[in-house]
Amino acid sequence: MVLDAREDFLQLRQLNNFVLHIDAKRINRRNAMSHKGYCDNCGRETKVVRLPTGGGGGVFLCRGCWAKEMSWRKQRNKTLAKSSRFSIKKYPG
Ligand SMILES: [Zn+2]
């Protein structure tokens, strides 16, 4: 009886780990792709995508703010040394 209960417990734990693993994968995919959320720049609730900002950080931006950020970067890059220029990324959504 005691052993059976322990096995059940272990199986349940394994199942739980499996579910957590799936969730983490889904969350990662959600971060990479566009989804409905709040834009970190303008605060509008709309379709947003994650722009990595380095060091594991990132911001969620709507299409308009993404475009603004990229045109700001292009302007900035004109006055920056090659080694410190921002990368220009196409809106992935
Ligand atoms: Zn925005």
Is 40 in the same domain as 85? yes
DSSP state of 79: T
Is 48 in the same domain as 90? yes
Strands in the chain per DSSP E: 35-38, 45-54, 57-61
Q: Using CA atoms, how far apart are residues 2 and 82, in angstroms rounded to an integer? A: 67
Average confidence score pLDDT of the chain: 80
pLDDT of the residue at 7: 64
CA of 89 to the centre of ligand 1 (A): 16
CA of 64 to the centre of ligand 1 (A): 6
Is 25 in the same domain as 55? no
Q: pTM of the full predicted structure?
A: 0.64
Range of the domain at 27: 1-32
pLDDT digit string (tens) for the chain, length 93 residues: 555 666 666 565 555 555 555 555 555 555 557 889 999 999 999 999 999 888 888 999 999 999 999 999 999 999 999 999 999 999 987
Is 1 in the same domain as 27? yes
CA of 74 to the centre of ligand 1 (A): 18
pLDDT of the residue at 42: 97
CA of 53 to the centre of ligand 1 (A): 16
Is 44 in the same domain as 85? yes
CB-based neighbours (< 5 A) of ligand 1, an ion: 39, 41-42, 62, 65
Structurally, the chain folds into a number of domains equal to 2
Is 18 in the same domain as 40? no
Is 54 in the same domain as 84? yes
CA 59 to each of CA 21, 23, 41, 78: distance values in angstroms, whole numbers, following the listed order: 24, 21, 8, 24
